[in-house]
C-alpha cells in the first residue's frame, strides 16, 4: 500500500472515530446497522482515536521529508497536524468529563489536523 493511501486511510479513520465520539447520529446508526455497535463506547473509541491520529502523524512525517533546499518547509504540515491532534484529543478528554466547551476544542483541533494534512499534499507540488 502506498504511503499516501495509508495516510488518507488513517485520516478517514480519525474522522469516523471523532464522529462517533461526538455522537453524530448518522455514523452511530451506520455502525450499529452493520453490526459494529460495540465500538460505540469511550473505552474503545478514545484508544482508536489516539491510534488513528498517531498513525496519521507517523505517515505524515514519513511521507513529507524536508526538502534539501528548504529544510523547515517539509515539517510545517506535520507540526500543524500534531498540534491539531493534541488539541482535539484534549477536547475529547474534556468532553468525556462533561465540560461544555470541549466540542469547540475538538472541532478546532480537527480543523488544524486537516489543514496540516491538506498542506502536506499541497506542498509536494511546489518548490521553495
Q: pLDDT of the chain along its 128 residues, tens only?
A: 576 777 777 778 777 777 777 778 888 888 888 888 887 787 888 888 888 888 888 888 777 665 555 555 555 788 888 999 999 999 988 888 888 888 899 889 988 888 888 776 665 555 55
Residue 19: per-residue pLDDT: 79
Provide the 10 A C-beta neighbour count for residue 18: 25
Contact 53, 89 (CB under 8 A): yes
pTM of the shown model:
0.75
Q: Name which of 62, 46, 42, 38 is nearest 14 in CA terms.
A: 46
- What is residue 86's predicted lDDT score, i.e. its pLDDT? 93
Amino acid at each position: 500500500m502506498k504511503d499516501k493511501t495509508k495516510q488518507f486511510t488513517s485520516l478517514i479513520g480519525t474522522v469516523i472515530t471523532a464522529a462517533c465520539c461526538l455522537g453524530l447520529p448518522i455514523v452511530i446508526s451506520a455502525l450499529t446497522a452493520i453490526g459494529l455497535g460495540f465500538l460505540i463506547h469511550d473505552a474503545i473509541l478514545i484508544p482508536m482515536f489516539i491510534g488513528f491520529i498517531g498513525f496519521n502523524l507517523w505517515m505524515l512525517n514519513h511521507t513529507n521529508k524536508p526538502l534539501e533546499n528548504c529544510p523547515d518547509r517539509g515539517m510545517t504540515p506535520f507540526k500543524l497536524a500534531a498540534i491539531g491532534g493534541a488539541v482535539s484529543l484534549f477536547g475529547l478528554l474534556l468532553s468525556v468529563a462533561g465540560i461544555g466547551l470541549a466540542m469547540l476544542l475538538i472541532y478546532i483541533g480537527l480543523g488544524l489536523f486537516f489543514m496540516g494534512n491538506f498542506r502536506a499534499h499541497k506542498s509536494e507540488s511546489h518548490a521553495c
